[in-house]
A and B are shown apart, each in its own frame.
Chain A
């Protein structure tokens, strides 16, 4: 990277003896860019350099098979299958998160779902939600401007923010407002008149089968004055004008920063980093990959301040825990298991395909309330013990022996405690905390008598895991 940066914090991280590229940093990278990682995935990435590791996350992937043949069926708002298919789509997506190879794609698909928000219950048609989801996956780290253009004509979005009702003479401002406020520029950078004028330029798009079509007679062909420019603008013109505003690059970079680095984007160094990020994005014509790669290779990303500084989203926490604990689902029950995860994440405030409103999940500390916190820990406990708080079996739980045996020294109780703990939490625990966890693991036996082949070893490891997931440290990623 050339040092056109103000901050210098986006310079690449180079491993040093005091800051080695180790499993701790690898797990940090994989947790922030994926939904957790199995021990074997951590081991394989640890053998790469940081640059190779990040490049691997951006390796092109083929598109997954669709959730069903119904995705090409003509939409029917009264179809009795809509609800069930929306649920299939949800399970299908969470399965992609769970089964994904080393790739940032699903994490970014969720990021865009939470940026260009549509709610399934308003869109109703699962085909449309699938099409939108596919756009997010295809363009996960593509061109942000092109993504905004596609979303503007996306059938689900035309339903969700009423674009299909936006017609010459009777503009509907709903999409125009959120396009500017939430999707591209941010509040305060345009006027109410800009919204009304943009709405006029966006007129003319309606739904036809699975596609959106432009109907010239519904479009307002008069001049519009938008952000100081006048012309007979259409939707592409509006997007182009928006993307010529420097504030647009900053707006999305701020959101990327908050999502992938840390919430406090107003700190001095954060503000400088966001400026630098915006410059990279604009210099690359809004291509996202160069920006994101720079970010995940940077000194900043691996700095002590940033490690473990975000509160995990429910899906991050729950799918992440399943993967971190090496839990493998029986293939014949996998959808049932994932539906349990979906319902628990929903109880904790993240019902995928149904964000709470057009702003999406606000995240950060709003993930934690006096309700969601116990919901989260109860889930974690249930996948360790195999039982929910109400006594119902979860149907699966961690294979404690297999998990312990995936570490190099399963017969050394102290080393095993350290290794398992480091795999599961990013913060360096104090010797005192490690000592407490070791005591839980030993469960009264002498440390020299610890033996992974002891018949009680599995239940002791589960006790250790149950204590560990109740650490506040586990809530952070």
Chain B
């Protein structure tokens, strides 16, 4: 279920009450880790998307190799990877670079999707402009100041930044935020490199002095304050998730991508309800003597993704996470005079994870019909974006249009997820209390699928537990529980009740009016 739906649900279910959830500052709730833990069950079914950006333009033809095409070797006499070194992909005429051994195993386990020849019309060859195009999901001749992930998050969290979600919506591992995570209201991400160091930095800091300034300095001042406030708000949550989570796989040393994915896995495992992670790896601009460095780079990508996937499996969170690689362009089909490759166009993208429909999508690269020595794209990169948003995050066609500004045909890259798993929807449920508002007592109904241990606890808006009204084994079926405020000296206002039964959990709001 989307967070926005959750908010709507609560707002609707408390209709008639004097207060709605919207009047409770979620920002304040976000500071309270206890309460956000209570609310977490709603979004634990949410999926996580990890973007790996390969900076500099990865050489696609030497990554997913058309080793049965003699033209490949004609155009790349020095750089062509010898046939017997290529790792053939079963039932295809393509193979992987020899450094991608684990990726090949994952492919055989149906956990890797490769989309061939991804690009866009009238490609740009500048690193910076091309990167901006990929980040902003624009046509080659359009200039946007917001990114596709930022716009998606704005769809999902329309009240941001007036209402801050308890956990960061997106995390960029690094020093500065990516353009892809910018929305109409600014940066949607939290940026840091190491959760503990980040926490230490923010600890004890304070900011003050909120006066509007009318000169050009004004917006910069507001911006600085907002960044500072975001750091303050989220540092504790991130530290807690990092302490709570664990890495069970061995990550390769001297591998910056592995270092970053290790943090991502730990935070997901630690319960951080962040949907998007962006990590980066540089060095792919291989103009000269590229064989050895490219081998090293792909070896690191291979080792990092493999360790990450192993970690997800061992932590039993593999069903929630999909990763994707992207790079601003591929490289020229023919090698240059310095045993390297110059800037090119279309290239393959990788998606990985248990939810991925593994296999190769698209044709082998057409090495005959080139434009200025470059490949012609078969898929627009935004088709891949649209597929991910639609299948992983259940974005509707209207939402896709709001985010990508055009309609794109999707590819069946990911097993379609559902907004709320039906078995949970139909077999377990927590009803709205009656009467509501109430004084002094109210009745709560719930339904469970099978014989389960059930608890119902009451919390105040600060997240403090008021009472456990039920804590016992119950048979399948619909049951009732009573909450009686008599003699408890409770103030009028909003309270939450939380049901836990098996892995199902749900929270609803009720109103005590004295």
CB distance from A346 to the nearest CB of B (A): 9
Interface residue B127 (Cβ < 8 Å from any Cβ of A): yes
A370 with B211: in contact, given A165-B338, A311-B220 (CB under 8 Å)?
Answer: no
Residue of B nearest to A379 (CB): B201
CB neighbours (8 Å) of A166 from chain B are: 338
A173 to B128, CA, bound (A): 16
Of A76-84, A283-291, A299-307, which stretch is located at the interface? A299-307
Interface residue A56 (Cβ < 8 Å from any Cβ of B): no
CB distance from A153 to the nearest CB of B (A): 18
CB distance from B132 to the nearest CB of A (A): 10
Per-residue CB proximity of A179-207 to B under 8 Å, as 1/0?
A: 00110000100001001000000000000
Interface residue A2 (Cβ < 8 Å from any Cβ of B): no
CB neighbours (8 Å) of B206 from chain A are: 470
Interface residue A48 (Cβ < 8 Å from any Cβ of B): no
A358 to B193, CA, bound (A): 23
Contact between B231 and A357, CB atoms less than 8 A apart:
no
A371 to B340, CA, bound (A): 36
Contact between A366 and B176, CB atoms less than 8 A apart:
yes
CB neighbours (8 Å) of A309 from chain B are: 215-217, 220
Contact between B201 and A375, CB atoms less than 8 A apart:
yes
Of A322-330, A402-410, A426-434, A445-453, which stretch is located at the interface? A426-434
A369 to B129, CA, bound (A): 22
Residues facing A in B328-385 (CB within 8 A) are 336-338, 340, 342-343, 372
Contact between A172 and B126, CB atoms less than 8 A apart:
no
CB distance from A271 to the nearest CB of B (A): 15
**Range of interface residues on chain A?**
35 or more
- Pick the residue among B207, B231, B288 that contacts A470 (CB under 8 A): B207
CB distance from A230 to the nearest CB of B (A): 20
Residue of A nearest to B212 (CB): A430
CB neighbours (8 Å) of A377 from chain B are: 205, 228
A287 to B429, CA, bound (A): 76
Interface residue A264 (Cβ < 8 Å from any Cβ of B): yes
A373 to B227, CA, bound (A): 7
A430 to B214, CA, bound (A): 13
Contact between A358 and B342, CB atoms less than 8 A apart:
no
A304 to B216, CA, bound (A): 8
Interface residue B291 (Cβ < 8 Å from any Cβ of A): no
CB distance from B328 to the nearest CB of A (A): 11
Residues facing A in B64-81 (CB within 8 A) are none
Interface residue A50 (Cβ < 8 Å from any Cβ of B): no
Interface residue B230 (Cβ < 8 Å from any Cβ of A): yes
CB neighbours (8 Å) of B56 from chain A are: 357
Per-residue CB proximity of B82-98 to A under 8 Å, as 1/0?
A: 00000000000000000
CB distance from A5 to the nearest CB of B (A): 21
Contact between A349 and B231, CB atoms less than 8 A apart:
no
Residues facing B in A342-361 (CB within 8 A) are 347-349, 356-359
Contact between B209 and A472, CB atoms less than 8 A apart:
yes
Contact between B175 and A304, CB atoms less than 8 A apart:
no
Contact between B209 and A187, CB atoms less than 8 A apart:
no
A475 with B224: in contact, given A309-B216, A371-B198, A427-B213 (CB under 8 Å)?
Answer: yes
CB neighbours (8 Å) of B216 from chain A are: 262, 264, 305-306, 309
Residues facing B in A375-395 (CB within 8 A) are 375, 377-378, 381, 389-390
Interface residue B142 (Cβ < 8 Å from any Cβ of A): no
A373 to B228, CA, bound (A): 6
Residues facing A in B175-209 (CB within 8 A) are 175-177, 187, 189-193, 198, 200-209
A192 with B198: in contact, given A357-B127, A471-B209 (CB under 8 Å)?
Answer: no
A264 to B206, CA, bound (A): 29
Interface residue A308 (Cβ < 8 Å from any Cβ of B): yes
Interface residue B282 (Cβ < 8 Å from any Cβ of A): yes
Interface residue B408 (Cβ < 8 Å from any Cβ of A): no
A359 with B128: in contact, given A305-B216, A368-B227, A372-B175 (CB under 8 Å)?
Answer: yes
A304 to B282, CA, bound (A): 41
CB neighbours (8 Å) of B337 from chain A are: 165, 167, 169-172
Contact between A172 and B338, CB atoms less than 8 A apart:
yes
CB distance from A402 to the nearest CB of B (A): 26
Contact between A374 and B338, CB atoms less than 8 A apart:
no
A-B pairs, top 5 by smallest CB distance, nearest first, are A170-B337, A165-B338, A374-B201, A369-B191, A309-B216
Residues of B within 8 A of A (CB): 55-56, 125-129, 172, 174-177, 187, 189-193, 198, 200-209, 211, 213, 215-217, 220-221, 223-225, 227-228, 230-231, 234-235, 282, 287-288, 336-338, 340, 342-343, 372
13 more A-B residue pairs beyond the given contacts A169-B337, A264-B216, A472-B209, with a C-beta to C-beta distance below 8 A: A165-B340, A177-B125, A305-B215, A362-B176, A365-B223, A369-B177, A371-B198, A373-B231, A377-B205, A389-B203, A426-B217, A430-B211, A476-B217
**CB-defined A-B contacts under 8 Å, sample of 21:** A162-B340, A166-B338, A171-B336, A172-B336, A172-B337, A177-B125, A182-B128, A304-B215, A306-B215, A309-B217, A309-B220, A348-B175, A369-B175, A370-B227, A373-B231, A374-B228, A389-B204, A390-B200, A427-B213, A436-B209, A472-B225
